[in-house]
Chain A
Amino acid sequence: MLFGDKGGRRLFAVPVLVWLVACAPVPPEKRSSRGTSEFRFVDVAAEAGLTRVLWAGRPDKDHLLDSAGTGAGWLDYDRDGWLDVYLVNGWRLSGDEVLERGRNALYRNLGDGTFEDVTDRAGVDGGGLWGSGVAVADYDDDGWPDLLVTNFGPTRLYRNLGDGTFEDVAREVGIEAPDWNTGAAFFDADGDGDLDLYVAAYIEATIEQVLSTTPTLDWKGVDKVAFGPFGLTGASDRFFLRLDDGTFREATDEVGMRDRARGFGFGVRAADFDLDGDLDLYVANDSDANYLYRNDGDGTFTDTGLWSGAAFDVNGAAQAGMGVALGDVNRDLLPDLFVTNFAEDFSTLYVGEGDGFFRDASDGSGVGAATFVPLSWGTVMADLDNDGDHDIVIANGHIYPQVDRHPQFGMTYAQRNQLLENGGNGHFTEAGDRAGPGFEPALSSRGIAAADYDNDGDLDLLITALDEPPTLLRNDSVGGGWLTVEPRVPAGGGGVVGTRVVVTVGERRMSGDVSSGGSFLSVHDPRVHFGLGSAGRVDRVEVLWPDGSTSVETDVPGNRFLVVEKSP
């Protein structure tokens, strides 16, 4: 079912403004002559000016907060057509001493491959809090993207004032909720045209406990490592309903999202998983059943995780969910989920079966074997080589530096990130070792966010790692054609979060959506990117707006940005 018609919503074509932004033609050297992918990623973070070190507690990672890491996000905060970078930072500790309260960073994309640090001018340094994640959305529908930053402590909501500066309005609008907050997503939960908010939380802890802790958990009988999360109390996730006066009200219980399992929440992704026309929500929980909150169409939700196939692995076991990605690995237009997990356990590919049901296809898809050893976090399902299918990228890194003292277990603290190439049929093979120098280094990586920052038609990767500056992997792969669709809604029109785009290229149909948060504590490009393979044109582009209306364009040339603006 492509178009939903639940709850009396009617689909209708709406007037739209459409324009094509022609980019420089894809240079011949970026086109594959063999029809096969030639991945190449190069880390250009330092030369681009992304140098902020992202601190993560103590060297030995005595507490789980030391090793959870932070997220990264893409947003065009100044609306100049170039995506800017936001990085969330932690603290640097020595024992119980705070050596440095890391500052978050906003880097403005100058459009020439470099970035300018505008953090101070913009007023978004995080205020000295130990940061976790970031979500991006125009929460107040004024046409400017805003920044939500989760922390070990009160959440910040940086409202974009449209003049290059932001103001923190979290307290004013009622979403501070001091806790160890992690993944977050804005989405229109009740279909009233404004954005509501879900914020996941990890464990209950105080900063005094964090500072005074020492490793006490026995690891394989050979070492002591950070304790938890078992034995610690999970912190409750929260749902905030946007009110007409612009503030939010916590409505977790009343909408059916009470965190009864006190799950150790990390990755959050809102999307229309059952394609019934409203937005559902998925929460990856560490060591607990994952939640799949189905939107029942009346502003309430039912957790269908246990019986939809999306809560556990194929054996019915809870895994240590960290990050989550949405995509369509087999091009059947049904949303698929990829959830990253702990070391010595596979990350899980949940293939959509329709109507919100999923099956664990990790084993047969090649994903299971490829992901069993590393400890995995941020993730992206996207077409990295523009060949017309979704590949998977995974940020890896252990939480225990102590593993390096025991090589007999075959694990390392620093790990290489992974690129799993889709063979076009939903079967994946490791491609990281032929993906250029960008995939060679081993770090303890965490967040990952994909975006076409240089507007050259392919997706680049921004990755955070513990106690390191970020990595920016410029995509220099040789691949096929592309089309990037940028849905736009004028201020006051409800925004674009949740917009779904479906393109038809010959017999192939592909879909993508606009989200405000996902991966591990991170945010991807707000535009919807499609690889076209050898096709030079797209037969049909359908934009399914959050209000249920649809815009259709036909015979669209490729290698372009297609802006589709919904009329008020």
Chain B
Amino acid sequence: MKRVLLTGLCVLVMMSGAVDAGMDATATPRPLVDTYDSLADTILAAKKTEWNLVHSILGGTYSHAEGVLAQAVSKIEAGQDASAEVERVAALVAQLGNEGDASVAAVRKRLLEGGHHHNAAGEEQGIYDDGFVIVTRASKKALLDVSKRIAKLGKSATVDSLNAEWDKVKKEFGKMHAGTPMGH
């Protein structure tokens, strides 16, 4: 911020000379525009970085859940108790809806205050950029509902019942990747 103010001050000093040299007196000083343009690159790059990071979190969580699901299915097919694995799948699906676990939520809380956020909480408050919301409110609710149903299956989970719920997770996950924001 200090740097921006200093730049502005320098530019104001230079402006008097510019007017004398015949420049358009109403023009925004070029150095300020250049600085802003440079800042825009940084802002947009940060957005891209965040978008990619959130997708990485989601992708990692999805893969993790998929792996645990496979373990649960194996156990069920072997006639073993798979309730712990089923609950882990439920927890991971809930984390998909929540864009990560509680520690990610703590970061998200800070971003939301900055008016810069991608997910359902920002969407709820109207603080988001079109095209950047990855887990929408609708997706979040759908994933939380699925996670609860999976958790409820518990010891009574069957391969069919688990796969039926997982199909819904796949569908929601597919939606998250259906579009990318402009420039990606």
Contacts and interface: CB of A to CB of B under 8 A. Distances in A.
A413 B109 CA distance: 27
Interface in A230-252: 230-231, 234
A289 B98 contact: yes
Interface in B73-102: 90-91, 93-95, 97-98, 101-102
Contacts of B105: 260-261, 288-289
Interface string A490-514: 0000000000000000000000000
B133 to A, nearest CB: 14
Contacts of A306: 91, 94-95, 97-98, 144, 147
Interface in B93-143: 93-95, 97-98, 101-103, 105-106, 109-110, 112-113, 120-121, 124, 137, 140-141
Contacts of A355: 152, 154
B131 to A, nearest CB: 21
B137 A316 contact: yes
A contact patch SS? loop
Given A231-B113, A261-B105, A317-B124, A307 B141 contact: no
B137 A307 contact: no
A16 interface: no
A352 to B, nearest CB: 13
A357 B91 CA distance: 14
Contacts of B98: 289, 306
27 contacts: A234-B106, A259-B102, A260-B101, A260-B105, A260-B106, A261-B105, A263-B102, A289-B105, A306-B91, A306-B95, A306-B98, A306-B147, A307-B93, A307-B148, A308-B151, A309-B148, A312-B144, A316-B120, A316-B140, A316-B141, A317-B120, A317-B121, A318-B121, A355-B152, A357-B148, A357-B151, A357-B152
A315 interface: yes
Q: How large is the interface on B (under 10, 10 to 19, 20 to 34, 35 or more residues)?
A: 20 to 34
Contact of A288 (B109, B151, B152): B109
A28 B115 CA distance: 61
A288 B106 CA distance: 9
A391 interface: no
Interface of A: 230-231, 234, 259-263, 287-289, 303-304, 306-309, 312, 315-318, 355, 357
A312 B97 CA distance: 12
Contacts of A259: 102
Contacts of B148: 307-309, 357
Contacts of B93: 307
A174 to B, nearest CB: 26
A357 B144 CA distance: 13
B147 A262 contact: no
B81 to A, nearest CB: 15
Contacts of B150: 307
A287 B141 CA distance: 17
A262 B103 CA distance: 8
Given A234-B109, A261-B106, 7 more contacts: A260-B106, A262-B109, A309-B144, A316-B97, A316-B120, A316-B140, A355-B152
A248 to B, nearest CB: 24
Contacts of A234: 106, 109
B102 A261 contact: yes
A316 B109 contact: no
B124 to A, nearest CB: 5
A316 B112 contact: no
Nearest to B108: A261
A422 B78 CA distance: 49
A307 B151 contact: yes
A308 B87 CA distance: 11
Given A316-B141, A357-B151, A307 B91 contact: yes
A518 B2 CA distance: 48
A307 B109 contact: no
A360 to B, nearest CB: 11
A82 B95 CA distance: 49
A137 B173 CA distance: 48
B113 A230 contact: yes
A356 to B, nearest CB: 9
A191 to B, nearest CB: 21
A303 B124 contact: no
Given A289-B98, A315-B137, A261 B103 contact: yes
Contacts of A262: 106, 109
A288 B102 CA distance: 9
Nearest to A316: B141
A307 B94 contact: yes
A303 B101 CA distance: 11
